[in-house]
Each structure stands twice: as C-alpha cells, then as structure tokens.
Structure 1
Amino acid sequence: MVDLPPQRTTHDGPWPAGYPSGFAVVDVETTGLASHDRIVSAAVYRLTARGEVEDHWYSPVNPQRDPGPVWIHGLTSEVLAGAPLFAEVVDELAERLADRVLVAHNAVFDWTMLAREFARAGRTPPVRERLCTIRLAKELALPLPNHKLETLVGHFGVAQRQAHHALDDARVLAEAFLPSLHEAASRRLPLPLHPCRPITEWAEGPSAGARRGAGQAAGAWRGWRAPRRRPACPYPNPGRYEPGGRLVQGMRVAFSGDTSIDRELLEDQAYEAGLHVATSISRLTSLLVTNTPESTTSKVARARVHGTPILDEAAFTHLLRDVAPAPGQ
C-alpha cells in the first residue's frame, strides 16, 4: 500500500524541459560514518517526474558486523541476524534506482554508502545523478534556521512518525521534496544535480564471505582495518603543481567530489607516494583533484579564488606512477 503525501500547492504550468523523468528518494541507516562501515537498512520512494509517489520499498540489511549506534537506528544484532545480506537485496534496490535521479538529505553520504555496497557486491549502481535536498533548500532560499531533516520537513508541515527509521525518513523527505520541486519548477530554476561516479576500488571492510551473525565484533572479520591517522608528510612543500609537469614529494593535494577509487584508498596512495594529503584549500595547496571542476563545492570555489591547479582523478593517478623526489633527496 502506498502512503500518498498530503495535498499541497503545486505548479500546474508548463514543466521545465530539462528536469529529470523520475526520482528515487533514498535513505540508508548505517553502522557508522567511516568508509569501512556498512548499511543496516535502506528505503526508496519512487517518484514521477513531477514528484508524485509511485511506490516504496524497504529492507533491513545484515551488515556482517556490529550494528553500531543501535540507540539511533534501533536495529539490534538480534534483529539483523535474520536480515538479508546487501548482495541479496541488490537486485530489488537496483530496479528501484534505475534511470532515476537519486534524492537524499546530505545526498553525498547516502550515495557513497550505496556505491561502496554495490562495489562489494560486484555491481554498478544504475544511478547517474543525485540531488541533495539541503542544496535544493539553499537554492530556493527557504527560511530555515538550519538544514536538519526535521527542520526541512517541519517547514512543509510533514509529520515524522519514526525518526532515523529509513522508511519513515524517506517518506517525510519525499513529502517535503514534492513542494520543493514544484517551487523550483515554478521559478524555472535549474535543479542542483550532481554526477554520481561508481566506486571501482575500495577499502575492504568486514569479509563478506559466508553468512554469519550480525553481532560478531567488527575486528574479528578478515580484511577489516580500523580508521587510522596518517603520519605527517616528511617532505617540505615544494609549491604548486605545474600543469604538464610531475608531481613532487611534499606537494599538498586536496580531493573533492566522487572518485572511482574509494577516497581513503586514493589518499593512501598519495601519502605513500610522498604527498601531503590536505583536508582544505589554502594558498599553500599545490593541487586539487576533482572529477567535477565545474561544481560549486567549497573546495572548488576556494581553488578558483587561490588559483590552485585542478586535475581529474585519471590524470592524477597517472602522475602518481612517477612522483619526483623531494628537492635534496
């Protein structure tokens, strides 16, 4: 049975020609926020081009490890022990995402978690673009005191029944997205769509071999690596990257946006080559690596302000093969 959103003011005029043909509003609950964390539940509301609900889907997922913050998502080891593995629901999930724009609140998080799970299952997610409702709210200049999900849905009078349950979070977001979409359409605003780049290499999490109980400690799974802080780069910063030249040990490199190699692995490769992995952009940054140089992220914007050179992932990984020694080495 489909939960239809309440009636709201909608745009009945001509629909913008460049808008997507359908949306998939997504929410995932996870064992944590790191790259080795896993999905414990997922929900999708499929919407038409005009934001009307077609159907919805939900499933808990056995993460094959400790479920993490049970006090947030409410899914205990006992509940998840009998849940399907991600590989067992990936076909159903892919069917609901196919050829639609993925919509989520803080969409980069939901997309990244899904992209890693699809990669572990040996699959490519059928999603080309995503839309973040935080970004859309900012584009619409909604009068919100903050951009929490409960604040956004409250602005549109949507009632939350069970916060941090993936299905209910997806429901309230779908209901809030409908008037947001129609407001954007009435103003003929371009939607803030961002390309989704599937992950092809990733940091191995808990082993996904034979099915096991979800309550086993994460550290007991073969291949799991705890988060770690990298030592400081031992080389001085030689300055900015010169287009057409070589990378030099000690250069400060920052990353922005989706990468086909999991971000943690890409940063590890840069560090092992003798580069300094920077978390922000300043006048001292040697290079920004991004596959979306046309985006409006803060790092890209600051790189433009400081004149920081920009390379895409493919060019950067090619240059990593032959990094010049630090001066004096």
Structure 2
Amino acid sequence: MDFTAIDFETATNHASPCAVGIVSVQNGIITDEYYTLIQPPGNRYNWYTMQVHGITPEDTQDAPTFDKIYPEIKKRLQNKIVVAHNVAFDRSVLQKTMLTNNLDYSELNISDNWQCTMQMCRASSKYPSGKLNECCVIEGIQLNHHEALSDARACAELFLRIKAASS
C-alpha cells in the first residue's frame, strides 16, 4: 500500500499555513517524513489558532514562505494517493495556498478524491467521534495533537490499520 499522508496547521485562514507534516508510505511502511514551519502571509496569526497548535509569529519569523518549500511538497505529493484526517481542510489549505502563490495545483496530478481517515472513522462504530486524537487513543497510536508531523504520522498509521481491518 503506497500513499502520502499530509497535515497542515494554519495561522489565520486556509491560505495561511504555518506548518506542514508529510509522511510517505510504501508497501505499508513509513519511508519518509517531512516537517517544516512555514511563514504565513505577513507572519500574521489569530489568537485562536495559536491556542490550538502553539505556533507563534516568533516561531515562524525566520521560516521559509510556502513558495520556498513547495518543491519539497511537490516531490512528496505528485502522482500520489493522498490521505488526510480532515480532507476538506487540508486539501483546501493546499489548493488555496497554491493559488495565492500562483502555483498550478493540477501539476501535482493527484486525485480530487483524497482518502479521509475522519470519514472512515465516522463510518465505523469503533470510533464514536471520528476525531483524530480519540481515534488514536482507541488504536494506541502515539499523537502530539496539532503538531503537523505527528498528526500526519498518526493519520498514516490509522489509515493502514483501517485498511488492514477491512481486508
């Protein structure tokens, strides 16, 4: 089973990522992990998002902007099956940020039909809420919730377990 799991944290809106975590899986094994802070537009944050993920303007003042890290994202996503825990959010962040940076989303050649572990969990009585942190507790998956790489890794592990259970 080959796929790439992704998770974004944002500063203000869907076009303001401040961190990304990407986990590549080949033959059911995690083979690559990528994490970076991203300087959001104007390095602006709202209070709520800082409370959620703990990333502040001081953390990203010297971080690269999205256009600088995009080659790393492209390398990991292009032509891949993409998995996220909240597809609507993470796909929107990627699409809106690429648009804001005049980057062509279609060049990634990824399906609009990303795999969503939240939807998979909600479809099962095993996971009452579908929330990533609660699904991870049930599965015994280690998670530092709202840290992008930890969320992406947990999403990948959760996807592997759900797929194995349905086989």
- Decide: shared fold, TM above 0.5: yes
- The C-alpha deviation readout for 1:112-135, integer Å capped at 9, x for no partner, is 110111122222231223111122
Matched with 2:65 is: 85
Q: Is 1:165–2:147 an aligned residue pair? A: yes
Does 2:87 align with 1:136?
A: no
Which structure has the larger Rg over C-alpha atoms? 1
Match in the other structure for 1:42? 20
Alpha-carbon distance, 1:41 to partner: 0.4
CA deviation string 1:281-312 (max 9, x = no partner): xxxxxxxxxxxxxxxxxxxxxxxxxxxxxxxx
Q: TM-score, normalised by structure 1?
A: 0.46
Unaligned runs of 5+ in 2: none
2:129 paired residue number: 146
Structure 2 partner of 1:64: 41
SS in 2 for 1:82: coil
Q: Check the 8 A contact 1:134/1:147 in 2, yes or no.
A: yes
Tell me which residue corresponds to 1:53: 30
In 1, Cα distance between equivalents of 2:103 and 2:9: 20
- Letter paired with 1:134: M
Counting helix residues as a fraction of each chain, which structure ranks higher?
A: 2
1:172, 1:130 → 2: CA distance?
16
Alpha-carbon shift at residue 67 of structure 1 (Å):
2.2
Q: Aligned with 1:147: secondary structure?
A: coil
Aligned equivalents of 2:23 and 2:125: distance in 1?
23
Q: Return closer, same or farther for 1:138/1:79 CA change in 2, 3 Å cut-off.
A: closer
Runs (4+) of structure 1 exceeding 6 A deviation are none
| Inter-partner Cα distance in structure 1 for 2:57 and 2:122 | 38
Give the superposition deviation at 1:97.
Answer: 0.5
Instruction: Provide the identity percentage.
Output: 26
Corresponding residue pairs, total: 160
Q: Which amino acid aligns with 1:154?
A: V
Counterpart-to-counterpart distance in 1, 2:125 and 2:5? 20
Partner of 1:182: 164
8 Å contact kept, 2:17–2:40: yes
RCO higher in 1 or 2 (8 Å CA, sep ≥ 6)? 2
Task: Normalising by structure 2, report the TM-score.
Answer: 0.88
CA distance in 2, matches of 1:171, 1:142: 23
Q: Write the letter of the residue equivalent to 2:97.
A: E
Give the RMSD, CA atoms, in angstroms.
1.6
Cα distance in structure 2, aligned partners of 1:51 and 1:123: 31
Give the superposition deviation at 1:109.
0.7
Q: CA deviation at 1:142?
A: 4.0
Please give the secondary structure, in 1, of the residue aligned with 2:70: helix
What is the distance in 2 between the residues matched to 1:107 and 1:64?
Answer: 23
Match of 1:156 in 2: 139
What is the distance in 2 between the residues matched to 1:71 and 1:135? 25
Letter in 2 for 1:51: G
